[in-house]
Structure 1
Amino acid sequence: MEDKKWLEAVNDSMQLERIRKANDYTKKFGLFLSEEEGALLLRERKEVLRNQERVEFGEGILPKLIYAFCDSPYIYQDNYVETMGRLQDIFYFYKNESLDEYTDDELIDFMKEQFDGPCQGSLDYLEDTRLETFARRARFGRGLYEEEDEEG
């Protein structure tokens, strides 16, 4: 049991270091995560992984989300932590819902395109409408951008 806690502590430390490095990049967009905010997002990550019954190895998805979304016109310092937390939750939920048919990068690219485009920064619209269609395409074996027919 001690080994597990030690491994978790090392992983958390590595994850926080990745967030610190991401801050160097996101500063030019006026975004910055404090140590406390980074730790909060990592705790939320653990919780969502547990809830979605997923296991994640390596870097984790949070740094990829940070780099992908930091230039969004709909994210600013006041909503940054909350938005990153929601995006992380949405990512893992739809990774499951799409049956892992798409890569992490494909899902993130689709999320970003929809968030900045049709969703105009609305996380609810992204989650409840755009990504539901995305997941349905995966479950029915359609391509990422393939149009649905009348029956689908």
Structure 2
Amino acid sequence: MNDKMFLRLIGQNEKTQLQTIIACNQYTKKFGLSLTEQDVLVLMNDRKSSLKEQERIEFGEGILPKLIFAFCDSPYIYQENYVDVIGRLQDIFYYYKNESMDELSDDELLDYMKELFDGKCEGSLDYLEETCLEHISREIRAGRQGFTGGDTDEF
């Protein structure tokens, strides 16, 4: 099935999401990044899988546009890895929304992810997921304060 046939089969909400994400290209092109419709369809499918796996529901446009805007200026993301990195960041985001017991707002979690990814993690998704965000989530679950506000130097 080609993209045009698929677009006829998806609902209006998905078409709106696709258009919203494609519109992000106007901003991200200045960083040398853009998504094709096929790329967006892959990311939207990944979103559905992540939400199902994490047993989450989401209303509205989802986290993809915010992820794109937050990470498009990263020195560790370039056109060749853009879709894969954004897809993985989306998975990590939903996983750590659960692991942090939703104590962090979407924007707070995105800020931590971006700060860590570009800083301490030096673009390593594995280090971001398995070490840095795991530490933050453990501290939140233990009831320790200090993570709402951007202090990521504790580990």
Residue in structure 2 matched with residue 20 of structure 1 by the alignment? 22
Other-structure match for 1:46: 48
Alignment partner, residue 90 of structure 2: 88
| Percent sequence identity over aligned pairs | 62
Alpha-carbon distance in structure 2 between the residues aligned to 1:78 and 1:127: 21
Describe the superposition over 1:70-110 as per-residue Cα deviations: whole angstroms up to 9, x where unpaired: 00000000000000000000000000000000100000000
- Alignment of structure 1 residues 1-150 onto 2, 5 Å: 9-141=11-143, 142-144=145-147, 145=151
Is the helix fraction higher in 1 or 2?
A: 1
Kindly state the Cα deviation for residue 146 of structure 1 after the two structures are TM-superposed.
7.8
**CA–CA distance in structure 1, aligned partners of residues 105 and 142 of structure 2:** 16
* Contact 2:116 2:152 (8 Å CA) reproduced: no
Compared CA separation, residues 147 and 140, structure 1 to 2 (3 A): farther
Cα displacement (A) at 1:11: 1.6
Aligned-pair Cα RMSD in Å: 1.6
- Amino acid in structure 2 at the alignment position of 1:101: E
* Off by >2 Å, runs of 4+ in structure 1: 145-148
Q: What is the TM-score with the length of structure 1 in the denominator?
A: 0.89
Partners in 1 of 2:125 and 2:96 — Cα distance? 13
1:147 deviates by 7.5
Aligned residues: 142
Q: Which runs of 5+ in 1 are unaligned?
A: 1-7
